[in-house]
Structure 1
Amino acid sequence: MNIKSLLIGSAAALAAVSGAQAADAIVAAEPEPMEYVRVCDAFGTGFFYIPGTETCLKIGGFVRFQTSFGRDEIGDVFQGKDNDRSDWDAHTLVDINLDARSDTELGTLRGFVNIEAASGGKNRSIGLTEDVSVNYGRSDNSFFIDEAFIELGGFKVGRFYSWWDSGINGENDSLGNETNFDSIAYTYDGGTWRAGISLDELSGRWSQDEVTDALGGIPVTLPLLGTHHDLGVAATVGFSLGGVNLDVLGGYDGWADEGAIRAILSADVGPGTFQLAGIWASDPNAYWVASEWTVAASYAFKATEKLTITPAAQYFGDLGFDSDADMWRVGLTVGYQVVEGLDLLATVDYNNVDVSGAADEDFTRGFLRLQRNF
Structure 2
Amino acid sequence: MNVRSLFLGSAAALISVSVACAADEVSAPDPTEYVKICDVYGSGYFYIPGTETCLRIGGYIRYDIGLGDVRSYDGARTSDLRTGEAQGTWRKNARFTFKTWTDQETELGALKTYTETGINFGNRNAYSGPESPQNHAFNSGLTLASAWMQLGGLRIGKDGSAFDTFTGYAGNVLDNILVPYGDFDANVAQYYFDAGNGFSAVVSLEQGSGVVGTIDSHVPHVVVGVKQTQGWGAITGVIARDSNYEALAGKVRVDVQVTDDLSLFGMFGYGSIGNLNDDPTNAVAAHGRGFYKTWGGNWAFWAGATYEFDEKTSFNLQVSGDQLRNAGVAANIAYMVVPGFTVTAEVDYYHYGNFGLGTADRSGVNWTGAGKKNSLAGILRFQSSF
Tell me the TM-score normalized by structure 2: 0.71
1:314 paired residue number: 320
Could you tell me whether the CA contact under 8 Å between 1:71 and 1:86 is conserved in 2? no
Q: 1:238 aligns with which of 224, 227, 251?
A: 227
1:41 paired residue number: 39
For residues 36 and 157 of structure 1, the distance between their equivalents in structure 2, rounded to whole angstroms, comes to: 32
**How well do the aligned residues superpose, as a CA RMSD in angstroms?**
3.0
What does the per-residue CA deviation read over 1:240-272, in whole Å, with 9 as the maximum and x for residues that have no partner?
Answer: 122221110111111111121001101011321
Cα–Cα, structure 1 residues 169 and 144, in superposed 2: closer, same or farther, change >3 Å?
closer
Q: Which runs of 5+ in 2 are unaligned?
A: 1-20, 73-85, 127-135, 274-288, 356-362, 365-370
Cα–Cα, structure 1 residues 85 and 331, in superposed 2: closer, same or farther, change >3 Å?
farther
Q: 1:206 aligns with which of 210, 215, 218?
A: 210
Could you tell me whether the CA contact under 8 Å between 2:70 and 2:348 is conserved in 1? no
Matches within 5 A, 1:247-258: 247-258=236-247
Q: Which runs of 5+ in 1 are unaligned?
A: 1-27, 75-83, 125-136, 208-223, 319-325
For residues 232 and 89 of structure 2, the distance between their equivalents in structure 1, rounded to whole angstroms, comes to: 42
What displacement does 1:180 show? 1.9
For residues 194 and 227 of structure 1, the distance between their equivalents in structure 2, rounded to whole angstroms, comes to: 27
What does the per-residue CA deviation read over 1:288-308, in whole Å, with 9 as the maximum and x for residues that have no partner?
Answer: 322221112111011111111
What displacement does 1:227 show? 7.5
Q: Secondary structure at the match of 2:353?
A: strand
Q: Secondary structure at the match of 1:167?
A: coil
Q: Is 1:90 the equivalent of 2:92? A: yes
What displacement does 1:123 show? 8.6
Q: 1:228 aligns with which of 194, 216, 222?
A: 216
Could you tell me whether the CA contact under 8 Å between 1:296 and 1:315 is conserved in 2? yes
What displacement does 1:86 show? 5.2
Cα–Cα, structure 1 residues 354 and 143, in superposed 2: closer, same or farther, change >3 Å?
closer
Matches within 5 A, 1:61-72: 61-72=59-70
1:368 paired residue number: 380
Aligned residues: 299
1:279 paired residue number: 269
What does the per-residue CA deviation read over 1:139-181, in whole Å, with 9 as the maximum and x for residues that have no partner?
Answer: 6331232211110111100011123333232225335233121
Cα–Cα, structure 1 residues 309 and 92, in superposed 2: closer, same or farther, change >3 Å?
same
Tell me which amino acid in the other structure corresponds to 1:115: T
Q: Secondary structure at the match of 2:187?
A: strand
Could you tell me whether the CA contact under 8 Å between 2:59 and 2:97 is conserved in 1? yes
Could you tell me whether the CA contact under 8 Å between 1:173 and 1:296 is conserved in 2? no
Matches within 5 A, 1:1-374: 35-72=33-70, 87-122=89-124, 140-165=139-164, 166-171=168-173, 172-174=175-177, 176-191=181-196, 192-202=198-208, 205-207=209-211, 224-225=212-213, 228-229=216-217, 230-270=219-259, 271-283=261-273, 284-291=289-296, 292-318=298-324, 326-354=325-353, 361-374=373-386
For residues 383 and 341 of structure 2, the distance between their equivalents in structure 1, rounded to whole angstroms, comes to: 6
For residues 303 and 353 of structure 2, the distance between their equivalents in structure 1, rounded to whole angstroms, comes to: 20
Could you tell me whether the CA contact under 8 Å between 1:97 and 1:115 is conserved in 2? yes
1:217 paired residue number: none
Tell me which amino acid in the other structure corresponds to 1:113: T
Tell me which amino acid in the other structure corresponds to 2:59: G
Tell me which amino acid in the other structure corresponds to 1:197: V
For residues 141 and 242 of structure 1, the distance between their equivalents in structure 2, rounded to whole angstroms, comes to: 43
Q: Secondary structure at the match of 1:43?
A: coil
For residues 138 and 239 of structure 2, the distance between their equivalents in structure 1, rounded to whole angstroms, comes to: 33
For residues 152 and 146 of structure 2, the distance between their equivalents in structure 1, rounded to whole angstroms, comes to: 19
Cα–Cα, structure 1 residues 355 and 252, in superposed 2: closer, same or farther, change >3 Å?
closer
Larger Rg: 1
Could you tell me whether the CA contact under 8 Å between 1:245 and 1:265 is conserved in 2? yes
For residues 372 and 261 of structure 1, the distance between their equivalents in structure 2, rounded to whole angstroms, comes to: 35
Tell me which amino acid in the other structure corresponds to 1:159: K
Tell me which amino acid in the other structure corresponds to 1:41: D
Could you tell me whether the CA contact under 8 Å between 1:313 and 1:328 is conserved in 2? yes
Cα–Cα, structure 1 residues 123 and 369, in superposed 2: closer, same or farther, change >3 Å?
farther
Could you tell me whether the CA contact under 8 Å between 1:70 and 1:366 is conserved in 2? yes
Q: Secondary structure at the match of 1:122?
A: strand
Tell me which amino acid in the other structure corresponds to 1:269: V
1:7 paired residue number: none
For residues 201 and 37 of structure 1, the distance between their equivalents in structure 2, rounded to whole angstroms, comes to: 39
